[in-house]
Amino acid sequence: MTLDALLIESARRLADAGSPSARLDAEVLLCHVLGVERAWLYTWGDREADDTAVGRLRVLVARRAAGEPVAYLTGEREFWGLRLATDPSTLIPRPDTETLVEAALALALAQGPGGRLLDLGTGSGAIALAFASERPAWRVLGLDIRPEAVALAQRNAERLALANAEFGESDWFAALTDEPGDTQRFAIIVSNPPYIAEDDPHLAAGDVRFEPRSALVADDAGLADLCYLVQRARQHLQPGGWLLLEHGWGQAAAVREALVAAGYDEVASRRDLGGHERVSLGKKAPR
């Protein structure tokens, strides 16, 4: 069987299982099995596939057909041009979250060449590492309550040789003392916290079925963690510092209202690639 024929077989099985990206999934899985880039497949698709590769791919295709995310099957996902290791202990980085990175980078540029950024609930480290790769003069700290997530993020930092990013274990701000001084104050705080309601039907479909529920679901119709961060972040922001929060597409108004009520200035929202309000932000008064 040629590689092209193997791809056709795999894509057909995934399409029959309801995959909306069957051909792409098949290509990514075959590239993972062969250790090649997708461009290689387009050039050498007429080559014969050996039995080992056929067997490995069919196992992966069967798992994908059962719903397992491609990022968990291959152990990696690209985000902001960075190839990140992934595993079931963390959420899979998604393109919409690049909206948060873009907004943070723009604010950092306006603040000067250096500063400190805190990423809460860092997971695989995607947001922290994307920011660190673009702003090498900044010091970036990512915190997560799950030790396995912290270990994964640190491995990603080492793989990418991003020495300006470090990671630690913390239940939100718990590991940060409340002592005054710049050591515990940040110019920018970002987070992609849990924001899905417990009864949201999307939890029973797609990749989220396999992702850690604790990183997805929050009380109060998904707003509990967002509101907690709005309230607590002020203690750890420098005067004039910014808080940026990713949220669901229907939650922007509620998050803006919480930011205004907590005393943040210049409250606004940013839209994602689909045109939905995905990130809301506010500035601590510079006094």
Compute mean pLDDT per 10 residues along the chain, 287 residues long, and list them. 96 95 97 95 94 97 96 97 96 97 96 93 98 97 98 98 98 80 80 96 90 95 98 95 97 98 98 96 91
Radius of gyration of the chain (CA): 21
Q: How many helices (H) and strands (E) are present in the chain, helices listed first?
A: 10, 9
pLDDT of residue 120: 98
Question: In Å, what is the CA distance from 177 to each residue of 170, 171, 183?
Answer: 11, 13, 9
In the structure encoding, which two tokens stand for residue 284, read together? Answer: 């601590």
How many other CB atoms are there within 10 angstroms of residue 7's CB atom?
19
The whole-angstrom separation of Cα 80 and Cα 27 is 21
CA 280 to each of CA 89, 191, 246, 265: distance values in angstroms, whole numbers, following the listed order: 26, 11, 7, 12
Pick from 151, 163, 92: nearest CA to 126: 92
- Do the Cβ atoms of 193 and 119 come closer than 8 Å? no
For 119-184, give the secondary structure using H, E and C.
Answer: EECCCCCHHHHHHHHHCCCCEEEEEECCHHHHHHHHHHHHHCCCCCEEEEECCCCCCCCCCCCHHH
Strands (E), the chain: 76-79, 82-85, 116-120, 139-144, 165-169, 186-191, 237-246, 265-271, 277-283
- In order of their start, the domains of the chain are 3-67 (1.10.8.10), 89-283 (3.40.50.150)
Write down the pLDDT at residue 179.
55
279 bridge partner residues: 246, 270
- CA distances 163 to 34, 127, 129, 136, Å, are 31, 15, 10, 9
d(C-alpha 161, C-alpha 136), whole Å = 11
What tokens appear for 17 in the block?
A: 């299982």
